[in-house]
């Protein structure tokens, strides 16, 4: 600790603090333009200049100067005022003063400082910037005429996002921020640069000219897309979500967001959302009243007796899921499941079998301090981008060693010093088994207290590094190196995302990752963690709440099979579009034909088209409740806007249904939370008051495994086909909902098939050509996207788009043999 004096105030701060940070902690105001809490000190703007007694003769930039013992700092004097004012005058020489048409006006740091320092005239004359604005990209408005060259966008894109789209180009007065070769912006469109920009140089285009900052009502809620659980602050006006506001004060994400969180909100305002309940009469879905719709549902379910299946989505709040569970009890059925069943088995069965728990063992912020990180599948960044940014910071700030077990390249593999174990598609298990075997062979494993070690050792004989290397095409040394790093690391993390397109080997991968976490001691160790991250906002909550088949109940796949055979008389699908997103179209399609089908959704989905009753529900922005994110963090979802038309929240609909079955339902989400906390393991001591700005992590920062059992898993074999298709998530989308949002759709609006350059050359395909993939199960066709991500012979198709009909050929297999035909 260091003692210093700022403006006559005695302050004690940590020795790593800068003068600015020390002053801020003491509540002393120093103006800044280029400083941001989460970025490294830079010192570009010279607005934060202060006087330091020991360094008389010049002014000191407070944001880059570390504190020293006995420092005496003055933050304001006539000279400082004059200098700061002069700095602002310099900035305003070139800065175009177009505040009336600049969307930043009202929250612009430069504007505020100009006002504060009363810069009404300028002693310097110069030419205003007259640079072309970036009108090409759909999401980020770049107007470099307003830039003050603080470099925050450059730094955030590099330090946090790890993409590096921007840099300074040219020299002197010509200096400006630009992309490579000064072309249009084409990046992840996470919009981090927008959130950092202190002026109006970078602005969200979807919000262009929509409203003024002071007109917006801000509501902190949790993003409804992935399991990362980022806090997003809705800026609402006229009962519409106008934009997502920057907020680094609450939540686990530190103000970081991805394209989906920052730009994927517009489906909330969509006028295509269902506004009235629909009931099928004479083969047609017709609008009806809520009373009739609920009556129709109740009649249908009663007719079906206990042969009812409930398929829930994982974007419902905990409270709603609790009511779903109650409804299943009221209906007397154990046929209850969520998210396509198979895909989350890694947690519910895999982790249960080994660690005895059903959740990730640690929290996201810990990863920043990890020394070694193993990401199973390169798609982790695509499914959980903001967690990916934490990994990037671990690498940049902490020199963490990242190993990516990858079937294709991606953002993670491009990070500095990332080791990519690029294997043949579908062979992740081999690699993990290989790493485990290296640990055991080299005696690096921490085997104390582990059950089933011998059995595992025996089974891992087949997976020696060399054997795995031959099978997967990954260098044996790399596997060994990865194993050694993981074992040697003080803090280490293993990341694995699951989701609808990653159904294959779900359970086995969960077990393998758990084995690895036990052998390396990661599971339950302070600072380390095994992260199995759900795809949807409340996947973890659904598992916690037990939206799972009961002992005699059927999972989703069995339900569909039973419904197809006519054994299941009624199906209740809440917030899911199985016809588009679930594997095995034929099975789902047949299942939805026969029984009494009730669909509860925001939009008229393909599944809803087949329903007998459609109940209009509302988005996350229209309801109150809690989500539990992939690190077990319970966070509050808050209502930002009122639901449109007659649509009701899932909570209200489930209340009505419960009442129709004569069961008492909790009156409010808060009441429901109190009730569910009692019956949900891990939530027993949680009350809503404890769910603060940073949420509440049930089970504590580190969740200790209940058992330490090693279970051997058998890996698959590589597919013998020249061309193979991988199914997965794309960065710009999450589930099927984001295809209704303008932001993500503006970047990726239609399905595509991605392939590497070599394949493209071989098949003489160019970007945008139509390609047909012929498979045993059927054909799919889409436009081609060519890049360097995919190894030769491997294609990739995202599962978000209904138009692709991907699930007609994807039935849950790890990889699909295809035959490309150019159209």
Partner 1 sequence: MFKELAKGLSITLKHLLPGNTTTVQYPKERLEIAPRFRGLHRLVPTQDREKCVACYLCPTVCPAKCITVESAENEKGEKYPRVYEIDLLRCIFCGYCVEACPVEAIEMTSAYELANFKREDFAFDKERLLKSQEGAA
List the one residue from 1, 101, 678, 776 that touches partner 1 (CB under 8 A): 101
Q: Can residue 99 be called a binding residue for partner 1 (CB under 8 A)?
A: yes
192 to 211, contacts with partner 1 by CB under 8 A? 208-211
Q: Per CB under 8 A, which of residues 38..57 are in contact with partner 1?
A: none
Q: By CB under 8 A, is residue 130 in contact with partner 1?
A: no
Q: Applying CB under 8 A, what is the total number of residues that bind partner 1?
A: 13
Residue 773 structure tokens? 């993939």
Q: Is 105 one of the binding residues for partner 1 (CB under 8 A)?
A: yes
Name the residue among 80, 218, 336, 325 with its Cα closest to residue 638: 218
Q: How far apart are the first and last CA of the chain?
A: 69
Where helices occur in 133-191 by DSSP H, the ranges are 152-155
H or E element that contains 596: strand 596-601
Nearer to partner 1, 266 or 358 (CB): 266
Segment 200 to 259, residues that bind partner 1, using CB under 8 A: 208-212, 214-215
CB of 619 to partner 1, least distance (A): 24
Contact pattern from residue 55 through residue 94 relative to partner 1, giving x for each residue in contact according to CB under 8 A and a dash for the rest: ----------------------------------------
DSSP 3-state of 818? strand
Shortest Cβ distance from residue 217 to partner 1 (Å)? 15
- Least separation in angstroms between CB 133 and partner 1: 8
Per-residue x/- mask for partner 1, residues 134 to 163, rule CB under 8 A? Answer: -x----------------------------
Sign of CA dihedral 499, 504, 510, 515: negative
Which of 473, 399, 476, 418 shows the shortest CA–CA distance to 442? 476
Residue 114 or 392 with smaller CB distance to partner 1: 114
Instruction: Tell the smallest beta-carbon distance from residue 318 to partner 1 (Å).
Output: 39
DSSP, res 344: G
Torsion over CA of 719, 720, 721 and 724, rounded to 10 degrees? Answer: 10
Beta carbon of residue 812, minimum distance to partner 1 (angstroms, whole number): 46
Alpha-carbon distance 616 to 643, whole Å? 10
Q: Is 104 or 260 the residue whose CB approaches partner 1 more closely?
A: 104
| Residue number, 200 or 277, with CB nearest to partner 1 | 200
Q: Three-state secondary structure along 222-263?
A: ECCCCCCCCEEEEEEECCEEEEEECCCCCCCCCCCCCHHHHH
**What SS3 string covers 512-529?**
HHHHHHHHHCCCCCCCCE
Nearest approach, Cβ of residue 238 and partner 1 (Å): 9
State which residue, 101 or 120, has the beta carbon closest to partner 1. Answer: 101
Taking the complex as a whole, how short is the minimal distance between the CB of residue 210 and partner 1, in angstroms? 7
Q: Per-residue DSSP letters for 738-802?
A: GGGSHHHHHHS-S-EEEEEHHHHHHTT--TT-EEEEE-SS-EEEEEEEEESSSPTTEEEEES--G
Tokens of 564: 């197809």
Map 26-93 to HEC letters.
CCCCCCCCCCCCCCCCCCCCCCCEEEEHHHCCCCEECCCCECCCCEEEECCCHHHHHHHHHHHHHHHH
Closer to partner 1 by CB, 99 or 353: give it. 99
Q: Which is nearer to partner 1, 207 or 582 (CB)?
A: 207
- Per-residue x/- mask for partner 1, residues 451 to 490, rule CB under 8 A? ----------------------------------------
Determine the Cα–Cα distance for residues 213 and 812; give it in Å rounded to an integer.
46
Measured from the CB atom, the residue of 112 and 609 that comes closer to partner 1 is: 112
Q: Please say which residue, 205 or 785, places its beta carbon nearer to partner 1.
A: 205
CB of 208 to partner 1, least distance (A): 6
Nearer to partner 1, 210 or 280 (CB): 210
| Shortest distance, position 99 Cβ to partner 1, whole Å | 7
Nearer to partner 1, 181 or 209 (CB): 209
Binding site for partner 1 (CB under 8 A): 99-101, 105, 133, 135, 208-212, 214-215
């Amino acid at each position: 600790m260091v003692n210093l004096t700022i403006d006559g105030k005695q302050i004690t701060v940590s020795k790593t603090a800068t003068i600015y940070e020390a002053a801020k902690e003491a509540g002393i105001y120093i103006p800044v333009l280029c400083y941001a809490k989460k970025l490294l000190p830079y010192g570009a703007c010279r607005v934060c200049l202060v006087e330091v007694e020991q360094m008389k003769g010049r002014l000191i930039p407070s944001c880059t100067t570390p504190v020293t013992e006995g420092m005496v700092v003055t933050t304001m004097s006539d000279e400082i005022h004059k200098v700061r004012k002069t700095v602002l005058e310099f900035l305003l020489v070139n800065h175009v003063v177009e505040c009336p048409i600049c969307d930043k006006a009202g929250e612009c740091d430069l504007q505020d400082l100009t006002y504060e320092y009363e810069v009404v005239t300028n002693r310097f004359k110069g030419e205003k910037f007259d640079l072309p604005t970036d009108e090409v990209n759909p999401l980020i408005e770049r107007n470099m005429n307003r830039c003050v060259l603080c470099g925050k966008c450059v730094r955030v894109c590099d330090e946090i996002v790890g993409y590096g789209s921007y840099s300074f180009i040219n020299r002197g007065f010509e200096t400006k921020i630009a992309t490579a070769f000064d072309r249009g912006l084409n990046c992840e469109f996470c919009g981090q640069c927008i959130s950092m920009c202190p002026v109006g140089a970078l602005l969200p285009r979807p919000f262009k000219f929509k409203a003024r900052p002071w007109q917006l009502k801000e509501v902190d809620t949790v993003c409804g897309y992935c399991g990362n659980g980022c806090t997003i602050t809705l800026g609402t006006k006229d009962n519409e979500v106008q934009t997502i506001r920057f907020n680094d004060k609450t939540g686990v994400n530190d103000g970081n967001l991805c394209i989906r969180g920052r730009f994927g909100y517009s489906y909330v305002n969509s006028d295509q959302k269902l506004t009235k309940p629909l009931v099928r009469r004479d083969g047609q879905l017709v609008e009806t009243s809520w009373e009739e719709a609920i009556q129709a549902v109740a009649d249908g379910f009663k007719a079906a007796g206990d042969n009812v299946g409930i398929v829930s989505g994982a974007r419902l709040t905990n409270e709603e899921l609790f009511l779903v569970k109650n409804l299943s009890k009221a209906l007397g059925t154990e046929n209850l499941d969520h998210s396509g069943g198979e895909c989350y088995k890694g947690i519910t069965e895999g982790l249960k079998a080994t660690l005895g728990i059903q959740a990730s063992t640690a929290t996201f912020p810990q990863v920043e301090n990890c020394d070694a990180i193993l990401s199973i599948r390169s798609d982790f960044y695509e499914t959980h981008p903001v967690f990916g940014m934490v990994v990037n910071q671990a690498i940049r700030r902490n020199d963490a060693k990242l190993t990516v077990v990858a079937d294709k390249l991606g953002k993670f593999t491009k990070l500095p010093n990332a080791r990519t174990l690029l294997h043949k598609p579908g062979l992740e298990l081999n690699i993990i088994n290989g790493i485990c075997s290296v640990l055991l062979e080299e005696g690096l494993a921490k085997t104390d207290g582990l059950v089933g070690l011998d059995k595992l050792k025996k089974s891992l004989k087949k997976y020696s590094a060399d054997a795995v290397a031959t099978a997967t095409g990954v260098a044996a040394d790399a596997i060994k190196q990865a194993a050694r790093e993981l074992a040697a690391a003080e803090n280490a993390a293993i990341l694995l995302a699951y989701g609808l397109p990653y159904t294959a080997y779900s359970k086995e991968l969960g077990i393998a990752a758990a084995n690895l976490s036990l052998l390396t001691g990661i599971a339950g160790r302070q600072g380390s963690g095994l992260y199995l991250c759900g795809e949807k906002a409340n996947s973890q909550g659904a598992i916690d709440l037990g939206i799972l088949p009961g002992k005699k109940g059927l999972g989703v796949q069995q339900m569909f099979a039973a419904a197809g055979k006519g054994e299941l008389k009624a199906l209740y699908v809440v917030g899911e579009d199985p016809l588009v997103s679930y594997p095995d179209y034929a099975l789902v399609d047949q299942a939805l034909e026969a029984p009494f089908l009730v669909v509860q959704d925001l939009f008229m989905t393909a599944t809803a088209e087949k329903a007998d009753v459609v109940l209009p529900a509302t988005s996350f922005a229209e309801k109150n409740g809690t989500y539990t994110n992939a690190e077990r963090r319970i966070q509050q979802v808050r209502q930002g806007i009122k639901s449109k038309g007659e649509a009701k929240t899932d909570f209200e609909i489930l209340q009505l249904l419960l009442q129709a079955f004569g069961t008492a339902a909790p009156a409010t989400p808060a009441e429901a939370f109190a009730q569910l906390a009692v019956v949900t393991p891990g939530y027993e001591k949680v009350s809503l008051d404890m769910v603060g700005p940073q949420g509440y992590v049930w089970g504590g920062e580190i969740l200790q495994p209940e058992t330490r059992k090693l279970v051997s898993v058998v890996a698959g074999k590589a597919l013998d086909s020249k061309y193979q298709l991988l199914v997965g998530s794309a960065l710009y989308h999450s589930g099927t909902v984001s295809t209704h949002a303008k932001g993500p759709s503006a970047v990726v609006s239609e399905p595509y098939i991605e392939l590497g350059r070599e394949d493209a050359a071989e098949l003489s395909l160019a970007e945008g050509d139509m390609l047909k993939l012929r498979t045993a199960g059927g054909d799919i066709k889409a436009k081609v996207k060519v890049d360097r991500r995919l190894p030769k012979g491997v294609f990739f198709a995202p599962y978000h788009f209904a138009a692709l009909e991907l699930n007609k050929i994807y039935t849950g297999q790890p990889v699909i043999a295809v035959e490309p035909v150019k159209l």
